[in-house]
Amino acid sequence: MTLRVLLADDQALLRGAFRTLLESADDIAVVGEASDGIEAVALTRELRPDVVIMDIQMPGMDGLTATLEICADPDLRATRVLVLTTYETDEYVAQALRAGASGFIGKGIEAQELLNAVRTIADGDTLLSPAATRSLVARFLATPVDTPPRRPERLAALTPREREMVALVATGLSNMEIADRMYLSPFTVRAHVHRAMTKLEARDRAQLVVFAYQTGLARVDPNGGTDQV
């Protein structure tokens, strides 16, 4: 299967470099390029790529606003957004997650890491490392935001085991790490996580993390980490 990627960056030179790199992989094809957020949204609706690699600082509509529009469009549910930016600040990461992005990486990433990032995002996983998930989500997503939180009563749709899995995902653990901790197979963990995502209509693991904190399923540990409820 060939992954279809849309590049959104206002610097043509960078877009060209990323296109060359991405198309060096047999399983990735760049289907379009956008120079601003408005064009990125329009081309995403037209081309329906698997992954949009989105810069933040662009003229007109910025990348975070474009990400929000793409992720809020039910017709684009299958499209994932990978935010790739020079500005690796905590606040930008949090805003990207709230907007619905599936991952956030810096432009200093190595070539192979970028290829793997596209594959990871396309597979429905989040790119944030466990350490980044714990620190950023605990600091920003557990605090009030302008948008209404997800309804706590939606937790009733989950089985006790699914709630447990969502809470563990919120600590930043991978499926393999959850499997090791719970003495389960990675396949079983993946199945539980997938069912939870389906029930909660979550696009990816990043949205599960947001859901867990907004509903209180996971919370900030007073000692500086994260905890399960």
The size of the chain, in residues, is 229
Which DSSP letter does residue 148 get? Answer: P
The residue segments making up the domain with residue 167 are 139-228
Same domain, 143 and 168: yes
Same domain, 74 and 113: yes
Same domain, 86 and 110: yes
Compute the Cα dihedral for 82, 86, 88, 94 and give only its sign: negative
DSSP reduced 3-state for 8: strand
Which DSSP letter does residue 74 get? Answer: G
Same domain, 110 and 143: no
- Mention every residue, 6+ apart, whose C-beta is less than 8 A from residue 30: 5, 6, 7, 18, 19, 22, 23
| Residue 134, in any domain of the structure | no
Instruction: Please tell me the total count of domains within the chain.
Output: 2
| Residue 132, in any domain of the structure | no
CATH number at residue 111: 3.40.50.2300
Each of the 229 residues of the chain gets a pLDDT tens digit; together they read 899 999 999 999 999 999 999 999 999 999 999 999 999 999 999 999 999 999 999 999 999 999 999 999 999 999 999 998 876 666 777 788 888 888 888 787 788 888 988 988 888 777 764 445 555 655 555 555 554 445 567 788 899 999 999 999 887 777 888 889 999 998 899 899 989 989 988 877 777 877 887 787 876 554 544 555 5
Same domain, 114 and 158: no
Same domain, 72 and 163: no
The whole-chain average pLDDT of the chain stands at 83
Which DSSP letter does residue 67 get? Answer: H
Tokens found for residue 223: 């000692």
User: What's the rounded Cα separation, in Å, for the pair 57 and 84?
Assistant: 10
Q: Max CA-CA distance within the chain?
A: 50
Same domain, 99 and 143: no
The candidate with the shortest Cα–Cα distance to 197, out of 141, 154, 133, is 154
The candidate with the shortest Cα–Cα distance to 211, out of 151, 157, 156, 131, is 151
Cα 33 off chain centre by: 21
Last residue of a domain, one of 68, 95, 126: 126
